[in-house]
Amino acid sequence: MQLPKTWVWQQSDWPHFRWDQGVLAQALACARLAQGKVLGVTQLLDAKLSLEAVATILAENGVTTSAIEGERLDFDAVRSSVARHLGLPSTGLPDPPRAVDGLVEVLLDATRQYDSPLTAERLFGWQASLFPTGYSGLHKILIGTLRGEEPMQVVSGRIGHEHVHFTSPPREGLEEGLDRFLAWFNASPTDLNGLIRAGIAHLWFVTLHPFEDGNGRLARAITDMALSQDERQPLRFFSLSAQILRERESYYNILERTQRGGMDVTAWLAWFLAQVTASATAAEKTVDDTLAKARFWLRHQATDLNERQRKVLNRMLDAGLDGFKGGINTRKYMSLTKTSRSTAYRELSELVEKACLKPTGKGGRSSGYEIVMT
State the sign of the Cα–Cα–Cα–Cα dihedral 272, 274, 275, 281: positive
Helices (H), the chain: 21-41, 47-67, 75-86, 98-112, 120-130, 174-186, 194-208, 215-231, 240-246, 248-259, 266-299, 307-319, 330-337, 341-353
- Known binding residue 125? Answer is no
**Beta strands 139-140 and 135-136: pairing type?**
antiparallel
326 annotated as belonging to a binding site for a ligand? no
* Given 139, 163, 202, 209, the catalytic residue: 209
The contacts of residue 318 (CB under 8 Å, 6+ apart) are: 56, 79, 293
CA distances from 124 to 16, 38, 142, 227 (A): 25, 33, 10, 21
The residues facing 164 across adjacent strands are 155
- 209 noted as active-site residue: yes
Around Cβ 201, how many Cβ atoms within 10 Å? 22
217 is in an annotated binding site: yes
* Cα–Cα dist 21/266, whole Å: 8
Q: CA–CA distance from 85 to each of 107, 131, 209 (Å)? A: 11, 19, 29
Confirm or deny that 186 is annotated as ligand binding: no
124 near 145, Cβ under 8 Å?
yes
Identify the helix (H) or strand (E) that includes residue 23.
Answer: helix 21-41
Instruction: Specify the length of the chain in residues.
Output: 374
The sign of the dihedral angle between the CA atoms of 366, 367, 368, 372 is positive
Dihedral sign, CA of 351, 357, 361, 367?
negative
Q: What is the radius of gyration, based on Cα positions, of the chain? A: 23
The candidate with the shortest Cα–Cα distance to 140, out of 148, 155, 100, 105, is 148
213 annotated ligand binder: yes
The answer on whether 345 is annotated among ligand-binding residues is no
114 labeled part of a ligand binding site: no
Cβ atoms of 293 and 317 within 8 Å: the answer is yes
The contacts of residue 310 (CB under 8 Å, 6+ apart) are none
Q: Check the annotation: does 72 bind a ligand.
A: no
Number of neighbours of residue 186 by Cβ within 10 angstroms: 11
Active site residues: 209
Q: Residues within the annotated binding site? A: 213-220, 251-252
Q: Residues within the annotated binding site for ATP? A: 213-220, 251-252
